[in-house]
Structure formats: structure tokens, C-alpha cells
Amino acid sequence: MSALLANIEFGAGGNSGAFVREGWAEQEPAHRWTMGRESRLVLPVDDIGPDYVLAICATPCRNPPALPGQAVMLAFGDRLLAAVDFPGLRTFAFRLPAMRGEIVLRLLHANFMAPRAPNQVRGGQPLGLMVHSVRLYRLPGAVARPAVFAAKADSDSALALRFESIGQGCQFGLIQRDMGAEPVSLLRFVDTTTSMVANGLVRAFVGVDRPGGLTLHASEARRPTYAWRQSEYGLSFDTRIPMDEAEPADVMEAQLRRLTFLRRKFEEDLGSGEKIYVLTRGDCLTEPEALAVFCALNVHGPNTLLWTVFGDESATGCVDEIAPGFLCGHLGWTDHHRYARLEAWRQVLEKC
């Protein structure tokens, strides 16, 4: 399992005050802005090896069309770690070089001179990134494949049940249905963002069933159904319950009970290491985004992540091992909904 060595939270009540240096605004409820040309952050470790990973979760200051996002260079001294584009809320993770002594992360803002609205400037300094968290992980060693995978699955449904979706959207949940499997799981048909998945995994989604965090609304279906949104983790779900067939209070009570059960089951499964977790997104996740999820997934136990990519038809069905327990599955072409073919999914699952 990966070790969470440092968790720096930048919102109100967080611990970022002990680590920020120049180039930062004051803490706000859920974040802290970077300001000016450069922002510095001291990491709470003094010895880093090549199996360490830095994950940063941030939302950019935007002022379209002149400033559609933020381009940021991450560096340690004069050593460039990565150049990152933040078009919106993103969590990116990067392997670190070996370092010793005081370790200072530099965030160099390439869009420093781009025009901003008046409320996007503080004390004469332009705002850059709304930083939510910075986490430092140590990658796991060899990850043992679940024992159930030792034998070939005797049916499509048995194969599909070895895996669990962790977002985003419904694609893999529908593939399981096409393969004859209907597992009950927390995120199977939930819509959210990759950043929210990474944040939720670190916390094992504790509090997802908090009554004050869930709100009901009408779906956009021709016959409206109850849908809900969970604020802390940004989860959205359509219950498929017609609004003219149930009272809101009854639906809310049932959904909170459901979430309590599913969250507890999810945490138990994370600790057992008996599933392979599937991370897919229609516009294709980058490796730094998938790496952030892999590290968060392994905080609770030795788990395997299958991250899927699209577009290269010649690689359809291939599975690459990026690191122990971190797999990349190639699904080839997609339809206009960005869904891959069932046969491509089957080929990838069989090779895991």
C-alpha cells in the first residue's frame, strides 16, 4: 500500500499556514490562492527518494478568452519537475527526484502577465491557482494480484465482478451490465470528477452519508425522477424514482441509508485488496491524473488500478503495467458518446 506521508490542506481549518512561504493569499473556506509570479511551499520532509509522488489539487484563475486557464511550472530550485496546464479543477501527480535537506516546491506562473478582472487581483498581485491540497505519497512495492484472479473466469459475469468502477460516469457500469453482472457499489453509476475521486479515496468517502450534504433535485428526464448531489465529494446520481411516485422525505431517508451501506462496503473492499478498480473518462485521463488516483487508492490497502485510454486502434486490448499495481488498458475507438466497444473491454479485462 502507498503511504500518505504529508497531507497539506489549504482551506480554512487546514494546516497550510505551517508550510507556505511567499506568494500566497489568506486561507479561504476551501482553498488558498497563489499570487504573483512565483509561490513557494516547504514540504514537511527532509529526505525524498525516487518512489515518492507529489499530488497537487487546484483550480485555475480564468478570464476567458485572454486567460482560459493557468500554465504552471513545478520546480525544486532550478530543477524542473513538470509543466502543467490547469484548464479547470484538476489533480495531477508526479514522481519526485531524490532530494535531501529543506525541500521547497516552487510554483512558477507562466500566465503572470495575462489580463485579469479586478476581483482576480489581490494587493496588486494577480491570482494564479486556487490550491485545495498538496499530498506526498510513497509508492507501494509489489502489489499482489487478487487471489480470485489466479483462475480464468468461467463467464463474462464472473469476469466483470472482479472489477469495480471508481468513475467517472456510467461507462464501465453499463459494460458490467452487458456482461451479465449487476454489482452494488458506491460509484458505479455516479458522476463526479477525477479530482473528487482522488480526494474521496484518501478519506474513504467518510461523510458521504451526512444528511446536510445531500440535496435532491429533478432530473431532466421527460418524466422527472429524483436525482441528488452530494456537496463534499461532488457526486451526482439519478435514483430513477419518478417524482410523482414518492415523497421527497422518504427518498432522502432511503438514499442516506443506501449511502451508509455502500460507503462501509467500499471501505471494507479497499482494505481487502480483492478487486481491481477501473478508472475511465470519456475525454481520456492523463497519466499524472491517473497516478494521483492510484496513490490515493492504495492508502487503505494493496489495490490495483486499471486506467483506460482511447484512440489508438492498433493497441486495442493491450494492457501496460506502468508501476506495480498500476495498469493502463487500451480500448481503441469509441462511439459518439465516447464509449468503447464491449469486445475491447472484454480483451482488456481478461489481460488484467
Domains in the chain, start-ordered, CATH in brackets? 3-138 (2.60.120.260), 147-350 (no CATH)
Long-range contact pairs involving 112-115 (C-beta distance under 8 Å, separation at least 24): 112/36, 112/37, 114/63, 114/66, 114/67, 115/63, 115/66, 115/67
Q: Which residues contact 196 (CB under 8 A, 6 or more apart)?
A: 233, 234, 235
The pTM (predicted TM-score) of the whole model is: 0.94
**The C-alpha cell that represents 228 in the structure block:** 441528488
Asked if the bond preceding 65 is cis, omega within 30° of 0, the reply is yes
47 contacts: CB under 8 Å, gap ≥ 6? 99, 100
Q: What is the pLDDT along the chain (352 residues), one digit of tens a residue?
A: 678 999 999 999 999 999 999 999 999 999 999 999 999 999 999 999 889 999 999 999 999 999 999 999 999 999 999 999 999 999 999 999 999 999 999 999 999 999 999 999 999 999 999 999 999 999 987 666 776 677 788 999 999 999 999 977 789 999 999 999 999 999 999 999 999 999 999 999 999 999 999 999 999 888 999 999 999 999 999 999 999 999 999 999 999 999 999 999 999 999 988 899 999 987 778 999 999 999 999 998 889 999 999 988 999 999 999 998 999 999 999 887 889 999 999 999 999 9
Task: Say if CB 219 and CB 225 are below 8 A apart.
Answer: yes
